[in-house]
Amino acid sequence: MHGRGDRWWRLGPAVVGLAVVGLVVLIGLAVLWVQAPIFYPPPADGRAPAIATTRTGIVIAGAALIIFVGLMMSLAEIRRAATRATERDRQMTERQLAGQLIERYTRAVNQLGSDTTDVRLGGIYALERLAGGFPEEQPAVVEMLSAFVREHTRLGRPGNRRCTSAADGPETDIQAAINVLGRLPARDGVLRADLTGADLAGARLDRANFTRARLDGVNLAGARLVEANLTRAGLVGVNLRTARLDGADLTGALLDRANLTDARLEGADLTGAWLDGVDLTGAVPLTQEQLEAAHGDAATVLPVGFTRPTSWPEAITVLL
């Protein structure tokens, strides 16, 4: 009993309202059918046939109304069934997609742990495709690739595959992983990378996007970062000795205690960059304007021939 009442309401307020109106009209037609004789008072000629004709019309109108309301209710039920079917299909598709995502992610992660470089590369590029096709998966992809780079390049880790010199550069799969991190789509609230403490000497990161990335303590000695975007990146204690930063955007970057000895900074944007304790010995071709746009402190070491900006605290030493 209760279920049947619920079924009526599930058809929708509009259909229920139409049914109520139809019922009211049917009651009105029934009253007309009963009261039809009053429209033909005696002794009018042909009274009986007229009454019969009127009642026949009322019956036909009532039947038509019943058929119409029935059709509308059937249509509403068909639409409701179609909506349920569509929702079931959507849920099934989502479950299948979720299963495929889990399978693809698991396979890619397993590939990263392979002993074969080609297989690891396949896992790296599979994760890139996953992040590109499914934005909600990008945070997990960034975390996985960042961990892969950190754990395989940090000093002291058994079996780490860090490069032996800046000239060698990172191994192929490590370079591929940081390339992917540097070109993933920029998404609000998604970290670009966390490579804290990684050894990436000699890495090639030209035009990479590491906006707000965590790169504290990374060894980037001899690395290429030409036109790289390092806006507001965390670069505390980073080793950029002899690195190429021509045209790099370091706006607002935190470079405290970084080593920029002999680095190339031609056209680099240092606006708002924090250079507290930074060693700029031999940095070329640095300009006074670049220094004026940045923040420094008493421990910032300037190359010969440069004047400490008046906004900076009194320098401890200026190399001659």
Cβ 277 vs Cβ 296: under 8 Å: no
Pick from 15-29, 39-53, 69-83 the range whose average pLDDT is largest. 69-83
Structure tokens at 34: 């009963």
**Cα 65 off chain centre by:** 54
Is the per-residue pLDDT at 101 higher than 50?
yes
Distance set, CA 295 to CA 235, 246, 256 (Å)? 14, 19, 10
Distance set, CA 293 to CA 219, 287, 289, 318 (Å)? 25, 10, 6, 19
Is the per-residue pLDDT at 181 higher than 50?
yes
Cβ 130 vs Cβ 136: under 8 Å: no
Mean pLDDT is lowest, of 64-78, 117-131, 198-212, 259-273, for 64-78
Stretch 212-218: mean pLDDT: 97
Q: What is the pLDDT of residue 155?
A: 65
Is the per-residue pLDDT at 144 higher than 90?
yes
Q: Is the pTM above the cut of 0.95?
A: no
Q: What is the mean pLDDT of the chain?
A: 85
Is the per-residue pLDDT at 189 higher than 70?
yes
Q: What is the pLDDT of residue 160?
A: 56
CB atoms within 10 A of CB 98: 10
Pick from 41-55, 71-85, 294-308 the range whose average pLDDT is largest. 294-308
Architecture of domain 116-320: 3 Solenoid (2.160)
**Hey, is 60 helix, strand or coil?**
helix
With cut-offs at 50, 70 and 90, classify the pLDDT of residue 320: very low
DSSP single-letter state for residue 257:
T
